[in-house]
Amino acid sequence: MSISFKKTKLLLLSLIIISAYFFVSCNNSESITNKSSTVKIIGRIDPELITELSGAPVDDLTQIRVILTRMNKDGSIDRISKEVISPDKDGNFTLTTDTVDLNYAIVVAKYGGQEWKTVIEQPFKLGDTIHIPSVTNETTVETDVYNRLQMNKKNDTPDFRSVQNSIDSDLANSIRGNAVKIAAIAKALASGSAQQFRQLGNNSTLPVENAAIAEEKTPEFSAQIHGDIHLDENTRQTLDNLVRSLDGSTQDIHLELQVDKKHNRTTAEEVVKGGLNAAQDRLWKQLKNQIVRSVKSDKKQEISFEIRLQMHA
């Protein structure tokens, strides 16, 4: 009986050792597999430092959708995260990707047609776990400016840290969502004179209120807006999309739109010269219709609004 009992104990001990070894081996194997196949991005959306463009806070952070993206040389954006995820109620999130062949990555958080972003400029390799600073209104503007710089990158183009050092929260909150002002900041940074554009943040109403802004994203492309109306979010997005599509065009393009309202009578005149492709033509017509509607619906009795976009190939 004692021998049998000893044999049983030895057998059980052996099984336990084998099972433990198998468990550890599996865990190690899984750890090695995970380490070699993915990158983890751990971050947070700061609930106190993000607002909608209207200024309203975002009440439920779990409704936000977060992805990891990269911007290609042509300005297009690819999603590179394995899944679209949502943060927890405190804004914490973890993204995973198996893509490491990129110059920099962009975290994009989306909610109700609005976006918040931040750049991951540091290089990473499979198996890395990267903790990034909080996503805020400020990092969103910094990312937009940095992306524009990268679209026309030169040897002395500022890095993301330089962009961060040039934009504070007040400036970011006042120009967020304004493609023209963001491009002007990018131009100033590229030329080493960002301070001259600090006055871009003086207007409390987005995107252009009683202001005249000149933009040059490259020596060949320029845009001008003069007006005293408030463009809504959809119109701002259309303008931004049109600016992106025109930048880098291989043909000379000249677009002008003058919209005037006097005593509730609205008139619009446009000039279209050059070769617009189908997408550019659609965006221009959409922008024109949106601006005319904005002028018509504005409560002011007299309004004058002008936009001029030029591309010299």
- Measure the CA–CA gap between 175 and 204, rounded to whole angstroms: 9
According to DSSP, the residues that pair with 256 across neighbouring strands are: 271, 308
pLDDT digits (tens, 9 = 90+) for 170-179: 889 888 888 7
Q: What percent of the chain has pLDDT over 90?
A: 28
Structure tokens at 34: 């995970």
pLDDT digits (tens, 9 = 90+) for 200-226: 444 333 233 333 333 333 334 556 666
For residue 265, the tally of other CB atoms under 10 A from its CB is 8
Q: Give pLDDT, residue 306.
A: 81
pTM, to two decimals: 0.57
Strands 114-120 and 265-274: unpaired
- Measure the CA–CA gap between 68 and 186, rounded to whole angstroms: 23
Helices 179-190 and 233-246: crossing angle in degrees, nearest 10, is 40
Size of the chain, expressed as the number of residues it contains: 313
Residue matched to tokens 């304004």: 178
26 pLDDT more than 90: no
Average pLDDT of the residues of the chain:
77
- Measure the CA–CA gap between 292 and 258, rounded to whole angstroms: 9
Average pLDDT of 29-38?
53
pLDDT digits (tens, 9 = 90+) for 258-313: 888 887 788 999 988 887 888 888 999 999 999 898 888 888 888 878 887 877 65
Under the banding of pLDDT at 50, 70 and 90, the label for residue 74 is low
- Measure the CA–CA gap between 2 and 126, rounded to whole angstroms: 55
